[in-house]
Copies of this chain bind each other. A is one copy, B any other.
Amino acid sequence: MFDKDTYIRRRRSLLERMAGEKGIALFLGNVEAPAQYRDNAYKFRQDSTWLYYFGIDAPGFGAVLDLESGKETLFADDVEIDDIIWMGPQPSVASVAAGVGVASSAPYAALEATVAAARAAGRPVHFLPASRYATALTLSRLLGIAPAETFSAGKAGCRRASEPLVRAVVAMRLVKEPCEIAQLDDACALGYEMHTTARKGIRVGRVEQEIVGAMEGVTLAKGWGVSFATILTQHGEIFHNHSHDCTIEPGKLMVIDAGAENNMHYASDFTRTYPTGGKYTARQRDIYQIVYECHELAFSLTRPGTSYRDVHLAAARHMLERLSDVGLVAGDPAEMAADGIAGLFMPHGLGHNMGLDVHDMEDLGENLVGYDDDQRRSPQLGLGSLRMARRLVPGNVVTDEPGIYFIPALIVQWKEQGLGKGCVRYDKLESYHDFGGIRLEDDVLVLPDGARRLGPQRLPASPDEIEAAMEQDKTA
């Protein structure tokens, strides 16, 4: 936990940003998430916004901030003798509240009465979209609305939740404080260690899962665990491939997209693509080099005042120029970029915000988090998936993760629909159907005068660096 003043200051700032609003703001921490039954839960993960404002990393808490009087109340139940046997002695709720500068506390059941009283008095109850089913059920009960109404309406943002509250929270969490940057550097150090362990484990004949276990063990030993489900696959063209039952084959590309969550719940998120035998083939190296250039270009453009949408577009344009060099497209790069041709090769966005969540605040609605009010989301494949488009300000933390993939089903679809006709060289693409995909990702902090990559050390990134590292792994 950060020091008490951090949480006091954040809540005060939130109240100031909500100064024009009436009523109360309701916050719910997470409860345990059953995996198989109530008492066999997944490892507890607190709600990120709750952690940001209240810091208390335990289940069963709620809070109300009165937007008019400024009164803060924490709701939770003190433990009884049975709980002491199973959970050990616990501090009182009052002392937990005091520990994060909240003056008033009450049993959890009083939360219901507090919200009911506000509603009865016609006062607005501001709440954030539910990120879990359990929270949806609680909000439904407290507010008398259907559970489905409590979720974020996806990209569009709030459905019944409070847009002013979402906007105030987003504005704060988007700009990382120095204490948060230190945590992100720490999570990146752990991510570096995970990835290094994984790279050293790549050996033809091993089963992918063995490497996953070793790398996840690293982050469990020093941090909370993984910041998202590990992607480790010789089918990089499948973005969210979470099966790890393949044996490592020679001559393939191994995409490893994985990150650590440290004990303070800050995330890291790195991707590297390794040649399974330690050396890229000429064709693999050609495509890797293009991804690497896009990655470096994006980093060089990342600075305050530039929109990350423009950084995405610059990377996409460079990708098309260079794909033209290797003969996979033909035409004017600017025109092809405007037509969204890059989406065939990179049908995802350049990056996303990162912080307490690996896709920071995605539960609050992608557009409210990642788009300025004057920006509209593109309908194009690729750019349409861009999660962070905003004009950058110092303290933003974004990922820089271009990739090139050869997705057979997508290529067939485009060809059949006549998309990219005249510029996509479908004849040449035939031989790439078994290529897979390449992605390269670092985590980037926007500084007043540019940007820096997070973490004390950078993972090998260029083709030469990666081959050299894998050569050294062999002899070590």
In-complex Cβ contact of A33 among B33, B357, B359, B363 (8 A) = B33
Q: If A33-B35, A87-B240 touch, does A409 touch B81 (CB 8 Å cutoff)?
A: yes
The copy count of this chain in the complex is 2
CB of A241 within 8 A of CB of B42, answer: no
In chain A, positions 251-275 with a C-beta closer than 8 Å to chain B are: 263
In-complex Cβ contact of A219 among B34, B41, B213 (8 A) = B213
Highest count of chain B CB atoms <10 Å: which of A44, A87, A235: A87
CB of B357 within 8 A of CB of A37, answer: yes
Which residues of B lie under 8 Å from residue A179 when comparing CB positions? Answer: none
Which residues of B lie under 8 Å from residue A431 when comparing CB positions? Answer: none
Whether A137 is near chain B, meaning CB under 8 Å from some CB there, is yes
Q: If A40-B359, A409-B85 touch, does A212 touch B216 (CB 8 Å cutoff)?
A: no
Interface size grouping (class) on chain A? 35 or more
CB of B221 within 8 A of CB of A214, answer: yes
In chain A, positions 229-288 with a C-beta closer than 8 Å to chain B are: 229, 235, 237-242, 245, 263
In chain A, positions 140-199 with a C-beta closer than 8 Å to chain B are: 147, 151-152
* Closest partner residue, chain B, to A45 (CB atom): B35
Whether A89 is near chain B, meaning CB under 8 Å from some CB there, is yes
How close is A406's CB to chain B, nearest CB, in angstroms? 12
Ranked 7 nearest A-B pairs via Cβ: A217-B217, A213-B221, A88-B238, A213-B220, A37-B363, A133-B133, A37-B362
Give 28 CB contacts A-B under 8 Å: A33-B33, A33-B35, A33-B132, A36-B131, A37-B152, A37-B359, A37-B363, A39-B362, A40-B228, A42-B43, A81-B410, A84-B409, A85-B410, A87-B238, A88-B235, A88-B237, A88-B238, A133-B134, A133-B137, A209-B220, A209-B221, A211-B221, A213-B218, A213-B219, A213-B222, A216-B217, A217-B217, A245-B263
